[in-house]
Each structure stands twice: as C-alpha cells, then as structure tokens.
C-alpha cells in the first residue's frame, strides 16, 4: 500500500520530504535538516509546533477520556472549550456545533442557514451568494460556494448553483469595483438568497486578497436590510491571522454564523466549530423531530481535540501573542520595503502576521514558477507554497523577527536567481 497525497499530480511528483519532528517554528527532516515552517503547515499552527501546553493537555485528556457519542453524552473537555469560546466571543454567539475540519464547519453553516429559512416560512430562500476569489473547502457543498477555478472544474456537475459576485482588485480601491456587482446581484436575487458567505478581511487560497473593511461593512448592512444571513468563514482568518483574534472584530460587524477550524487546536489535532445565534437555533426547536438539525460526524466533539483547543485558547489569553504577531508584522513591513527595491512587484501587502508579495510573472497555481520557488526555498531551509505568483509568509507566532527576515531574504535570493537577474 502507498499513500495518495493531497493536491498532487502523483505521476512524476517529487517524493515527499520525510519529516521526523517539529518544534516551534521548525520542521526537522529525517536527514537532519532543519526547515523554517513559513506557512504554519497550511495555516493551522498558531503558537508553534508541539507547544508543551498543548501536547500536555492532549496527553492528559487521552488518559482520561478519548471519544464518546456526542448525541448522547457530553464531557468537561467540550464544556470547558465552549465556556472559553464564550469568554472570547460576543454573547450573541450562543450555540456551538462541533465537526472535524474547515469544510465541514462550512457545510454545517450552510445546512443550518438553508434549513432555518425553510422552517421559518422563507421557502424562496434557497441559494447562496459567494465571491470571485472565494475558497470554502473541498467537500461538495463547500466546493459549490468556492469560486470557479482549477480546483473545482473537474467536479462542476457536482456543484449546486450559486450566485457569484465579481469583486474589486486589490490594486484598485474603488468601492464601485468592490461592491457594484454585489449590489446588482442582490437587487436581482436578494429574495432568493439564504446566506452570503465570506472569508472576512483576507481571502486565503484565492490569492491572499485583502478586503477593504468598508466593503464588508456595506455588505453586512445590505444583508441585514434584506434579512439575508451572513456566514463568516474564519477557518483561516481566525486565531490571529489578521492581527486580531478574529477578523470580524476589525470589521466591527457580527455574522449569523462563524466557522472556525485550522488554528482552533493550535494546529495539533483536527477540530472545527460552527457558532451561531439563538435566533437561528430557535428555528430548530419543535415537538416535531423532523425539524431538528440532521447532521453529525463520528468524531463530533472529540474530547482530545477539545482539550487541545482549550489549551490553545488559554495561551491566547495568557501570553503575549498579539505582541508577537505585531512584531512579525513589523518584520514583514521592513523586509518587504527592502525587497521592493530589488525585484519588480505587482503588489505587496501585510495584514497581521501575513506578509504577501505578488511578483511580476504570469504563473498559475502549481506552475513551473511556483514549484521552482518552493523547491529552491526548501533547499535553503524555508518551507513555502506560493499561490501562483502570490508569494506569502504566514509563520507560527513564535517566529522571531530575525527568522522572518531570513525567510524574506531567502525568497529574494531565489527570485533574483530564477527570474529577475
């Protein structure tokens, strides 16, 4: 038996790097090499790999209670996590539904929004509205609200119909560009829409696109006016990735659904949660069991994952994480302003601990360009995965400014040698 790897054309794929250990900001390969994890292992690691507080919590919980049927039982591990989330989030988020990954947290939000409409006399509201560069996961529902592209084309017939909006370019700030199509689509289809789904502030997989805050505020206002639910998919932006604990804090607006996963356990174990309000929850309360929420997963509310998540959240409460993030942010700014003078860039942007450059090359996802950049950075001790011509760093929060500088110098060196001599 051999392994079939994710997002990989297995024919001719380079063999994977055998990794032996990970600690803090580093991966340690079996051949003894030490590699800086420039993308927090697909955006999941928060404080650093194998953080002792998180690994201790996992070990302790594993000895006491591992897994139990969440439809019939509850446990301190989940109760404690929900209490902690309650202290970190506005009180209007009153209900938490667990699943295992980002895609399922999105599926849960969509099914809840849809069913809430069906059960509250809004049977015309059967569609979702999504944006041009959106990414919400790889399961069929989440893929349906993901933008059309390379990752969805092979499955187009499996995707349900969705209203898709163009949006502005980050190189062009005009509000008309950002909102024009949304406003047009809303006036046409508004009364058919159950929910609008957005990656608030920063669209990740679509190319690290930063939203103007005012555009998001306006979208929220229009949704409220038309009584359309809002889903904030904070699977990536949650847990500090935009500089505040959650992106919605910076926008100053609350969604009806908040999807969290990736950084929830600090990256140590899979877990997701979909948070919602009493208003939604009450649509499912009935003496008729046909009106319950028909969804669950074998591992819903896994006790070990919940313990890891609580330990992760306590680190956010107790340590200087936001300061760490700010120093990473400053290091990005410093390095990028130097790099700008050295190679031609289409754009550069920094948001919280994420530093992004867009080089002046035509290159799609998985192109020769991005593969070459990754391979050469890896040779020099840095792990990154550019999104086409968008090269970014999203390091774990324990990464020092010096390490951030090393990462950008490595990227500069590689780009210079490869393309901009």
Ligand X SMILES: *Cc1c(COP(=O)(O)O)cnc(C)c1O
Stretch that binds ligand X, among 77-85, 108-116, 231-239, 403-411 (CB under 6 A): 231-239
Q: 155: which residues sit within 8 A by CB, 6+ positions away?
A: 140, 143
Residue (142 or 336) nearer to ligand X, CB: 142
Q: In the window 31-60, what residues touch ligand X (CB under 6 A)?
A: none
CB of 286 to ligand X, least distance (A): 31
Residue 236 found at the interface with ligand X (CB under 6 A): yes
Residue 235 found at the interface with ligand X (CB under 6 A): yes
User: Which one of residues 137, 352, 386, 396 is an interface residue with ligand X (CB under 6 A)?
Assistant: 137
CB of 337 to ligand X, least distance (A): 28
CB of 203 to ligand X, least distance (A): 8
User: Which one of residues 39, 70, 84, 102 is an interface residue with ligand X (CB under 6 A)?
Assistant: 102
Percentages helix, strand, coil for the chain (3-state, rounded to 5) are 40, 15, 40
CB of 199 to ligand X, least distance (A): 5
CB of 146 to ligand X, least distance (A): 8
Q: Where are the alpha helices (DSSP H) in 226-320?
A: 247-251, 278-281, 303-318
Residue with tokens 């380079």: 14
Residue 101 found at the interface with ligand X (CB under 6 A): yes
Torsion 266-271-272-275 (CA) sign: negative
What's 161-187 look like in SS3? Answer: CCEEECCCCCCCCCHHHHHHHHHHHHH
Distance CA 97, CA 90 (A): 16
User: Which one of residues 135, 178, 257, 408 is an interface residue with ligand X (CB under 6 A)?
Assistant: 135
User: Which one of residues 47, 51, 125, 136 is an interface residue with ligand X (CB under 6 A)?
Assistant: 136
- Total interface residues for ligand X by CB under 6 A: 14
Stretch that binds ligand X, among 11-19, 101-109, 326-334, 380-388 (CB under 6 A): 101-109
Q: In the window 142-201, what residues touch ligand X (CB under 6 A)?
A: 199
Residue 204 found at the interface with ligand X (CB under 6 A): yes
Asked if residues 236 and 262 have their Cβ atoms less than 8 Å apart, the reply is yes
CB of 205 to ligand X, least distance (A): 6
Helix (H) or strand (E) holding 390: strand 390-393
User: Which one of residues 40, 46, 61, 261 is an interface residue with ligand X (CB under 6 A)?
Assistant: 261
Stretch that binds ligand X, among 55-63, 97-105, 314-322, 378-386 (CB under 6 A): 97-105
**With b meaning 16 or more CB within 10 Å and e meaning fewer, what string describes 74-95?**
ebebbebbbebbeeebeeebee
Distance CA 25, CA 34 (A): 10
CB of 380 to ligand X, least distance (A): 27
CB of 185 to ligand X, least distance (A): 21
Backbone angles phi, psi at 112, to 5 degrees: -65, -45
* Interaction mask 12-31, ligand X, x per CB under 6 A: --------------------
Q: Known catalytic residues?
A: 7, 135, 233, 262
- DSSP strand pairing (95-99 vs 272-276): antiparallel
**With b meaning 16 or more CB within 10 Å and e meaning fewer, what string describes 176-207?**
ebbbebbeebbeeebeebbbbbbbbbbbbbbb
Distance CA 102, CA 121 (A): 30
Cβ atoms within 10 A of the Cβ of 15, count? 5
Residue (147 or 236) nearer to ligand X, CB: 236
Residue (259 or 414) nearer to ligand X, CB: 259
- Name the residue with the smallest CB distance to ligand X: 102
Residue (231 or 414) nearer to ligand X, CB: 231
Residue (199 or 256) nearer to ligand X, CB: 199
Helix (H) or strand (E) holding 27: strand 26-29
Helix (H, G, I), strand (E, B) or coil at 345: strand
Residue 241 found at the interface with ligand X (CB under 6 A): no
Distance CA 331, CA 246 (A): 21
Q: In the window 57-86, what residues touch ligand X (CB under 6 A)?
A: none
Residues forming the site for ligand X (CB under 6 A) = 101-103, 106, 135-137, 199, 204-205, 233, 235-236, 261
């Amino acid at each position: 038996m051999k392994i079939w790897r994710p997002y990989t054309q297995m024919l001719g794929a380079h063999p994977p790097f055998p990794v032996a250990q990970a600690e803090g900001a580093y991966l340690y390969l079996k051949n003894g090499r030490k590699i800086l994890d420039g993308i927090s292992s697909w955006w999941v690691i928060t404080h650093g790999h194998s953080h002792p507080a998180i690994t201790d919590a996992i070990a302790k919980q594993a000895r006491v209670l591992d897994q139990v049927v969440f439809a019939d039982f509850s446990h301190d591990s989940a109760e404690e996590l929900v209490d902690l989330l309650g202290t970190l989030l506005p009180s209007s988020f009153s209900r938490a539904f667990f699943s295992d990954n980002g895609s399922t947290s999105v599926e849960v939000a969509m099914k809840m929004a849809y069913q809430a409409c069906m059960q509250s006399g809004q049977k015309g509201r059967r569609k979702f509205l999504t944006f041009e560069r959106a990414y919400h996961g790889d399961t069929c529902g989440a893929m349906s609200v993901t933008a059309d592209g390379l990752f969805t084309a092979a499955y187009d017939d499996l995707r349900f119909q969705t209203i898709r909006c163009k949006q502005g370019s980050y190189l062009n700030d005009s509000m008309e560009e950002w909102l024009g199509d949304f406003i047009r689509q809303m006036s046409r289809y508004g009364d058919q829409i159950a929910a609008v789904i957005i990656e608030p502030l920063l669209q990740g997989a679509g190319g690290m696109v930063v939203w103007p805050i005012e555009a998001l505020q306006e979208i929220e206002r229009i949704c409220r006016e038309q009584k359309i639910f809002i889903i904030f998919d904070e699977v990536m932006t949650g847990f500090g990735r935009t500089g505040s604990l959650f992106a919605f804090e910076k926008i100053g607006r609350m969604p009806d659904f908040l999807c969290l996963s990736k950084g929830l356990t600090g990256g140590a174990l899979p877990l997701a949660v979909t948070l919602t309000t009493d208003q939604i929850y009450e649509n499912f309360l009935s003496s008729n069991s046909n009106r319950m929420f028909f969804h669950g997963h074998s591992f819903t509310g896994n006790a070990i994952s919940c313990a890891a998540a609580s330990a992760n959240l306590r680190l956010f409460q107790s340590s200087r994480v936001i300061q760490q993030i700010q120093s990473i942010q400053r290091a990005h700014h410093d390095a990028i302003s130097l790099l700008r003078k050295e190679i031609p860039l289409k754009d550069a942007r920094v948001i919280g601990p994420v530093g992004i450059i867009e080089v002046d090359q035509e290159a799609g996802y998985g192109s020769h360009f991005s593969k070459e950049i990754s391979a050469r950075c890896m040779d020099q001790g840095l792990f990154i995965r550019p999104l086409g011509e968008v090269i970014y760093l999203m390091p774990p929060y324990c990464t020092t400014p010096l390490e951030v500088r090393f990462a950008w110098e490595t990227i500069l060196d590689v780009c210079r040698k490869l393309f901009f001599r």
